[in-house]
Structures are given as structure tokens and as C-alpha cells.
Amino acid sequence: MEQIAYCISDSGSNLTCAFRLLKCKHIADINHKFTLILQSVYEKNPLLNEFTKALSLLRAQKSMSKIARIVPPNQRIMNRFMNLTPLFKWGIKMLHLLDTNELNDEEKQVLSFLVPMRDFIDDTYQILIGLHKIQKILKNKGFDDKSAEEAKKVFKVMKSANSLKISTRLNEFFADLKSKAESKTICCSSDIIESCFGKYKEIVKGNKTVGISDLCLCIAALTSMNNQDRTNQAMETVSIQQVKDWKKKNIKKTLFAEKKS
């Protein structure tokens, strides 16, 4: 069996523990890593807490009112640092509407809390856009010395306190990746496998009590558009009995199945 070069995942303790036991190199997925970096910088930031609380109150009070058009987007409670961009994009848009006098008096009054937070909103939005640019670079090109230098340039023009903190943590992350890259270009995104399992969950969502069943065999057909011939061959040559035999050998009874028996 060919040796696994490295494993990509979020930094969940169950996975990282498994990688240590298997003596596999762990590459942190950049989506989750950047979320942790944002959390480390902004979690205790009073301006962020004030901003998100004000948006939450605005949604609760004005979603069904005549000024509902200016209500901010919902923020997911789980992984909130992974979903900050829509909130700050909204903030930038509302500030623009205030500057260009495109709002009525009631809307101006409701959004007046944004004005003293302008610098914070502008700076945070630029940081979030910068992180998205770096993600795009690393997802498309992988991580190596060349792509790392290109990514670092994104934050060189930013001089705010928070952007400097982000830049420092990015450099630490890049140094860790370089120590594991061994002069090769490495992948640092788990988007492909997450997309694959997202499609699988969409297929099985009709019955959440089933658990992992023989439907997991369909995952092989979800990874590429170039395997149609092999999929057709499998569908034409593999019998139902073979699938049942495989299931009996490889998949234990689910809780739902045990309850039925």
C-alpha cells in the first residue's frame, strides 16, 4: 500500500488524534484555519460584539416592518466567524446608502449606529476580502513558496492593528505548512471531500434515521464528471446480491435497523 503523504481536515480533536496515532502529517484546511485566526483576533473585540448585537436587534425589530429592505442578513450561531463577510458587506452597503442620501428619515435613524463604527467596518471588511483572496490563491495553486509569497502580498498594504495581527498569524500558518511541504506543492483545502459528502447528505436527507447504509457506495460516483463509463459498467455488472453481501460484511446495523428487528 502506498504511504499517505498527508491528511487535510479541520482541526477537530478526534481527527488530529487519529492522524497522530497513524503518524500522518496533518494539513489544516484553510477555511477552518482562517476561521480560527479570525476568532483569535476578534472573539473578545468589543466593537464586533456591539456590531453583531445591534444587527441581531435590528433583525428582530424590523424584519416585518416597512423598512425591512435594510434588515441585515441572518448570522449562523454555529461557526459565526466563518460567516462574517455578509454582515460586513451589508454594513459597507448601508454606509454607502447613508453617504449618498438614498434612505428615508426612519432608515437613517435606525442605521445611525453604523456611522461611529465606520472605520471598524471598513477595516474588517478589507481584512475579510483579503482572506478570501488568499483562499482563492491557495485553493487554485496549492501551497508552495511562490503561492505563499503571492498570498503574503495581500496584507502588506494593510496597516491597521487587526490586519497586522492577522498577518502575523498567517505567517505562522505558512511556516507550519512549509515545514510539512518538503519542497513540494501541497493541497490545503478539503473543499472537494466536503462537497462530495454534502452531495451524499443531500441524497440521504429524506430519512435521517437510516444512518450509514449501502447508499454510501454512491459516493464513488459523486467525485468526478469523468467516471461515467466506470459508473455505467458498475451499474450494469454488479448485482443486488453482491451489494447485499458487501453491506453485510462492511456495514454494521444502524440504530434504526436494530429498533426494527
* DSSP state letters, 106-150: HHHHHTGGGGGGHHHHHHHHHHHHHHHHHHHHHHHH-BSHHHHHH
Mean pLDDT of 93-98: 97
CA distance 40 to 36: 6
Nearest to 125, CA basis, from 155, 91, 95, 159: 91
Nearest to 42, CA basis, from 168, 170, 166: 166
3 state SS of 32: helix
Residues 167-178 pLDDT 10s:
999 999 999 999
Query: Residue 126: is its pLDDT beyond 50?
Result: yes
pTM, to two decimals = 0.80
Other Cβ atoms within 10 Å of 137 Cβ, number: 19
Mean pLDDT of 75-83: 76
Query: Residue 239: is its pLDDT beyond 70?
Result: yes
Query: Residue 127: is its pLDDT beyond 50?
Result: yes
Mean pLDDT, rounded, of the chain: 87
pLDDT band at 235; cut points 50, 70, 90: confident
CA distance 71 to 88: 13
Residues 188-216 pLDDT 10s:
888 888 888 888 888 777 766 566 777 77
